[in-house]
Amino acid sequence: MPAASPASLALAARLRQYDEAELAALIRRRRVAPATLDDLFDLAEALLDDVSIASAVADLPRASLAALATAVELDPDGRGVALEALATQLGVSNADVVAALTMAAERLVVVLDDDTILVPAAVGGTLARRGETGALDLSAMALRETAAPSPLRRIDADDIARLNRVAAEQAFECVVRIGEITRSLDREPARLLARGGVSLPDARRVAAEAAISDEALADHLTLARSAHLVADTTDELIATETAEQWRSRPLGDRWAALAVAWSDALPDPLRVELARRAVAGAGDRTAELVGWLYPAADTLLTERLDALGRQGALLGITVDSRASTVGATLLSAGSAAATSALTPLLPPEVRQVYLQHDLTIVSPGPLAAELDERLRGIADIEAAGLAGRYRLSTDSVTRAIARGETADTLTRFLTELSLTGVPQPVAYLIDETARRYGSIRVGMLGADESTELAATTSIRSDDPAMIDTLSVDATLTPLGLTRTGPHRLVSRLDPSLVLGTLIDARYPAAPEEGEHPIAPARASRRRGRAPGTRLPATAASAGDPVLEAARRLHGATSSADAAGGDAWVARQWELALRAKLPVHVTVRLPDGTERDFDLEPTGIAAGRVRGRDLAADVERTLPISSIAALAVPE
């Protein structure tokens, strides 16, 4: 049972007007533990907790804090302040006041009527205490009158040109590395820890495959998540379908998708302020600006904004803490204009490569996306970036043939792609691999033979020596291979698992002729949903404790409403009784008229409440069903 207060009972009454979605959003914004919530009174008490309010206040910009503090200053009795009076004191329009308080209303349940503002007293108390104990002045006057830091002078044109060259290098590198991250997660999802974050072995694997440091992985992943290129499942981090589409787009468009995601992640007030100051090469006073804009910022907000700063540097939006031309254009004119400014600075894509006798393939620049994608299906990537390097091998060519390529299609593609023709070692590798491919055939046994041999899968080869090798290979022991003749082995396991195991062991295995291709068994490769794709409501909410709590709270309110409000009145009376709080009740009399009483609750039982009439000094007993309204004066 929560420790009730007049403020919490009044707030609980206001929360009855919220629907499930609004309650869930409020619980998330205020980071309330959903398991602690049995009813709206629990939520109200949690929202009025000083630590919780301080956390919510930390995210509010100066304009919102100034409006809150000034409203408290003008309303010492907690009855509400006229919108016009608040706007006059702040020196802004009514619309500006409403805009400033809208964010506060979402987080702090500030009441915004047509012409009156009511700030919960607990909010004013928290602001006062933060101002007394913090390093910054959070008084109404200081919040209203402290001027923003002015930007420094711009650097000269030569330095701006250098800055823009570096910005383009950073942007290019970021796009390439995030592309490699999505490919790594495509091949093998990363395990997520119960406490949050990617498991250390998987984080190191993904970072190594993307050629970035372990420390830089988190910021790259945040950008990829924001752009919907990777997504969290229950226990894994995966690449989404969007990532594959994104990788096929021109380099500038790939950068724009990341830049838009970064910009959208900025808090609205900060984005507006940065756009107002966006000038290429201007000296940076972002730290001072953030300190001014968010005077009550806590560690969580500071760390989030610091991370956004690092991600902006990765994208070339800033260089050495100065806005690049591309960054200034993004903030002031949008992604299309920024992409137009960036594209001439990026290295041009190439459409041909150098094939070398040592089976390496070198790209003299970033290879066009569609050519890069096909080449990766034929050769292993050794270095991605400005000068890509790939390597052909028996394994890589075998994988290509397994996906439908032939010696002719491979040779033709490489001939068109190469600036140096197809060297003899490359041609020999392709022909020999194609010749050997499928010398081991994997298929499903017929029903009769499967029953007779107690097996599911057939492994066949025209070369008895190959069957001999398979039967004694210790790495294949888990398959439980049994020899049934000079040219065949059988296994109880599924054909796809057998085929995948043989390919992983580097045997030239393929599906049996005439059968549908069997997908090799691999680590799970689950795709995320594209943006805009919605899960069914039941699936989306299943297992989400916040949505379950919001449904529980709203359901309790709806039940009370369906019962004529009796359950709600009884719950309020119980809490007021426990906390020894007076109540103001409106009673509906038998003749249809109504009468108001100020009572001190003394009991509740059998559908009736008892209370001492504070005006007449007598005890009254009232049926709960006759109480039309009940309020606890704040």
Point out the least confidently predicted range of 25-29, 421-425, 535-539, 607-611. 535-539
For residue 559, pLDDT beyond 60: no
Joined together, the tokens standing for residue 29 give 């914004």
- Position 432 scores a pLDDT of 92
- Position 556 scores a pLDDT of 64
Beta strands 440-444 and 457-460: pairing type? antiparallel
Higher pLDDT: 177 or 14? It is: 177
Q: Are 295 and 367 in contact (CB under 8 A)?
A: no
- Position 522 scores a pLDDT of 43
- Position 560 scores a pLDDT of 42
- Position 606 scores a pLDDT of 84
Higher pLDDT: 567 or 289? It is: 289
Distance from C-alpha of 546 to C-alpha of 550, rounded to nearest angstrom: 6
- Position 542 scores a pLDDT of 47
The pLDDT-based confidence of 153 (bands split at 50, 70, 90) is low
For residue 470, pLDDT beyond 70: yes
Residue type, 60: L
Joined together, the tokens standing for residue 489 give 């082995």
Outline where DSSP puts E strands in 465-561.
482-485, 488-491, 509-511
- Position 280 scores a pLDDT of 81
The pLDDT-based confidence of 562 (bands split at 50, 70, 90) is very low
- Position 371 scores a pLDDT of 95
The pLDDT-based confidence of 16 (bands split at 50, 70, 90) is confident
The pLDDT-based confidence of 8 (bands split at 50, 70, 90) is confident
Higher pLDDT: 49 or 173? It is: 173
- Position 564 scores a pLDDT of 40
The pLDDT-based confidence of 278 (bands split at 50, 70, 90) is confident
- Position 216 scores a pLDDT of 96
Mean pLDDT of 540-548: 70
Mean pLDDT of 66-71: 93
- Position 515 scores a pLDDT of 54
Point out the least confidently predicted range of 140-149, 515-524, 589-598. 515-524
Mean pLDDT of 526-550: 55
Mean pLDDT of 94-115: 87
Distance from C-alpha of 362 to C-alpha of 356, rounded to nearest angstrom: 8
Mean pLDDT of 208-218: 95
Helix (H) or strand (E) holding 187: helix 157-187
- Position 599 scores a pLDDT of 92
For residue 395, pLDDT beyond 80: yes
- Position 579 scores a pLDDT of 79
Distance from C-alpha of 109 to C-alpha of 150, rounded to nearest angstrom: 34
The pLDDT-based confidence of 76 (bands split at 50, 70, 90) is confident
- Position 166 scores a pLDDT of 96
Mean pLDDT, the chain, as a whole number? 87
For the domain made up of 563-631, give the CATH fold.
SH3 type barrels. (2.30.30)
Number of H helices, E strands in the chain: 29, 22
The pLDDT-based confidence of 393 (bands split at 50, 70, 90) is very high
For residue 516, pLDDT beyond 70: no
- Position 384 scores a pLDDT of 92
Supply the DSSP string of 191-233, one letter for each residue: EBPTTSSB-HHHHHHHHHHHT--HHHHHHHHHHHHHTTSEEE-
For residue 544, pLDDT beyond 70: yes
**Strands of the 509-511 sheet, one edge to the other:** 482-485, 488-491, 457-460, 440-444, 509-511
- Position 370 scores a pLDDT of 93
- Position 630 scores a pLDDT of 84
- Position 152 scores a pLDDT of 63
Mean pLDDT of 533-543: 41
For residue 557, pLDDT beyond 90: no
- Position 523 scores a pLDDT of 39
Helix (H) or strand (E) holding 354: strand 354-355
Mean pLDDT of 574-579: 83
Distance from C-alpha of 603 to C-alpha of 457, rounded to nearest angstrom: 77
- Position 283 scores a pLDDT of 64
Mean pLDDT of 440-447: 91
118 strand-pairing partners:
111
Point out the least confidently predicted range of 31-45, 341-355, 398-412, 502-516. 502-516
Q: pTM of the prediction?
A: 0.80
Percent of the chain surpassing pLDDT 90? 53
Joined together, the tokens standing for residue 242 give 């969007």
The pLDDT-based confidence of 484 (bands split at 50, 70, 90) is very high
Q: Are 512 and 499 in contact (CB under 8 A)?
A: no
